[in-house]
């Protein structure tokens, strides 16, 4: 009798341990990263280091731990979550997590949403965006609008985390701040959950994800390459520049993703040689007989306005790195579109001089917008030495872009935060021209 009671007690205790352990293991967020050569990397953020199993029918695929949760509470950026991943196996067309289907790329990518500069800006001493007001910080609304559009892929052109300082006003009262998990959760994973659950995403690294800022979180969560602790911004004084990579959208369109995060705008030659070498890699990635977008955070040929500095042009370090490419034909002439963020607005422009791509900025995803642009004819304005605007359009409302090709006619829809179309811009790749209405 005693032995039976003891066995029953042990079994009961084991059940309690396993059920408690199971209850404690929770998958917090899941998303699909589109990486080099259209690789699809499923990521899951969990509150433990135990990784879940994905299923395709009756076939099980165990995820592996990308990076373990922090155990040191005193770290400047604390991440008490584990990150699991699995590269989608070839010929698998559907995967489920917790009985929910994960978003995967379709056989044909027909439409793409582009967002950028999305977090809620809290930066001492002057920038305090009202994170608690969805009219002032509409990222969750933008995310839901993109989900309703049912696009095939989303490109985020960088700058995810903006809660860098303690809030001292009522509009962001109670907000977390810093570069650790709490800020990543509030600025990225909560508001973007609608997109992440529905659509694979190309994540571009912005200057807010440089090592001196939120770089550690970038390499944990969003970087498309395998995790290596020596190259993951664990030292905030280091600098790490990812290799560029290709994403093929269709037989006629290729994206090349470039990491411009370490640009030093006050010291435009600091990493110029390294960026130049990386641009040589970009050139080698270009497919023949294809239209090419160079997708990065910093605008090589953009323009912006501030009450303090008035009008100013693009990012000189990136422009010079492209122009220093010495192959023939030149890299700049091979590009059809520069797709970027960094400037918190929408703008599209082309140039009087031949051989320059259409420049597009989609930096109006939620972060505090730029100073209002005054009415001004910018025709002839020099964005870089020897590059003058021919035509431009701007729209200073929160929102995003949707790219489609209908009857071989490429176009962008410029949408507001609720998904309403503000402009439709047809693109002519052959002569680097556009028309908006």
Q: Of 78, 103, 128, at which residue does a domain stop?
A: 103
Neighbours of 384 (CB within 10 A): 21
Distance (Å) of CA 97 to CA 61, 68, 88, 100, 419: 10, 20, 13, 5, 29
The tally of domains found in the chain comes to 2
Residue 36 is part of which domain span?
Answer: 25-103
Distance (Å, whole) CA 133 – CA 140 = 11
Could you tell me which residues are beta bridge partners of residue 87? 41
Distance (Å, whole) CA 242 – CA 228 = 12
> What pLDDT was estimated at residue 406?
82
Please tell me whether residues 178 and 34 are part of one structural domain: no
Please tell me whether residues 287 and 418 are part of one structural domain: yes
* Residuewise pLDDT in 10s, the chain (437 residues): 445 554 444 444 444 344 344 444 689 999 999 999 999 999 999 999 999 999 999 999 999 999 999 998 888 899 999 999 999 999 999 999 999 999 999 999 999 999 999 999 999 998 999 999 999 999 999 999 999 999 999 999 999 999 999 999 999 999 999 999 999 999 999 999 999 999 999 999 999 999 999 999 999 999 999 999 999 999 999 999 999 999 999 999 999 999 999 999 888 889 999 999 999 999 999 999 999 999 999 999 999 999 988 999 999 999 999 999 888 899 999 999 999 999 999 999 999 999 999 999 999 999 999 999 999 999 999 999 999 999 999 999 999 999 999 888 999 999 999 999 999 999 999 999 999 99
Please tell me whether residues 226 and 368 are part of one structural domain: yes
Q: Of 83, 103, 123, at which residue does a domain stop?
A: 103
Please tell me whether residues 63 and 121 are part of one structural domain: no
Please tell me whether residues 72 and 131 are part of one structural domain: no
> What pLDDT was estimated at residue 21?
42
Is 18 a domain residue? no
Please tell me whether residues 306 and 398 are part of one structural domain: yes
Please tell me whether residues 323 and 198 are part of one structural domain: yes
Is 20 a domain residue? no
> What pLDDT was estimated at residue 25?
63
Radius of gyration of the chain (CA): 23
């Amino acid at each position: 009798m005693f032995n039976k009671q003891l066995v029953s007690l042990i079994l009961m205790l084991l059940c309690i341990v396993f059920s408690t352990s199971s209850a404690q293991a929770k998958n917090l967020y899941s998303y699909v990263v589109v990486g080099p050569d259209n690789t699809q990397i499923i990521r899951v953020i969990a509150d433990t280091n135990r990784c879940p199993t994905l299923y395709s029918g009756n076939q099980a695929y165990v995820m592996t731990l990308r990076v373990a949760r922090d155990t040191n509470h005193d770290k400047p950026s604390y991440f008490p979550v584990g990150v699991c991943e699995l590269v989608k196996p070839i010929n698998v067309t559907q995967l489920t997590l917790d009985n929910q289907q994960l978003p995967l790329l379709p056989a044909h990518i027909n439409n793409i949403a582009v967002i950028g500069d999305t977090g809620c800006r809290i930066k001492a001493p002057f920038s305090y965006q009202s994170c608690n007001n969805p009219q002032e910080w509409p990222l969750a609304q933008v995310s839901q609008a993109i989900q309703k559009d049912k696009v095939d892929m989303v490109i985020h052109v960088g700058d995810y985390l903006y809660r860098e300082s303690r809030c001292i006003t009522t509009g962001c009262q109670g907000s977390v701040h810093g570069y650790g998990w709490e800020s990543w959760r509030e600025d990225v994973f909560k508001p973007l959950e609608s997109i992440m659950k529905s659509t694979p995403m190309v994540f571009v690294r912005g200057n807010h994800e440089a090592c001196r800022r939120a770089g550690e979180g970038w390499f944990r969560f969003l970087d498309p390459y395998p995790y290596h602790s020596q190259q993951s911004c664990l030292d905030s004084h280091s600098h790490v520049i990812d290799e560029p990579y290709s994403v093929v959208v269709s037989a006629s369109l290729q994206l090349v993703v470039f990491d411009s995060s370490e640009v030093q705008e006050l010291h435009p030659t600091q990493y110029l040689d390294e960026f130049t070498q990386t641009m040589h890699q970009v050139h080698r990635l270009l497919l023949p007989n294809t239209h090419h977008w160079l997708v990065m955070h910093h605008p090589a040929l953009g323009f912006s306005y501030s009450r303090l500095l008035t009008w100013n042009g693009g990012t000189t370090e990136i422009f010079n790195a492209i122009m220093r490419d010495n192959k023939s034909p030149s890299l700049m002439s091979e590009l059809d579109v520069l797709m970027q963020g960094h400037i918190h607005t929408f703008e599209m422009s082309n140039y009087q001089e031949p051989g320059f791509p259409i420049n597009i900025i989609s930096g109006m995803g939620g972060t505090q917008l730029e100073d209002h642009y005054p009415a001004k004819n910018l025709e002839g304005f020099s964005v870089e030495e020897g590059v003058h605007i021919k035509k431009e359009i701007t729209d200073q409302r929160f929102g995003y872009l949707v790219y489609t090709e209908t009857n071989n006619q490429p176009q962008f829809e410029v949408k507001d935060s609720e998904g309403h179309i503000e402009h439709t811009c047809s693109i002519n790749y052959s002569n680097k021209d556009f028309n908006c209405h």
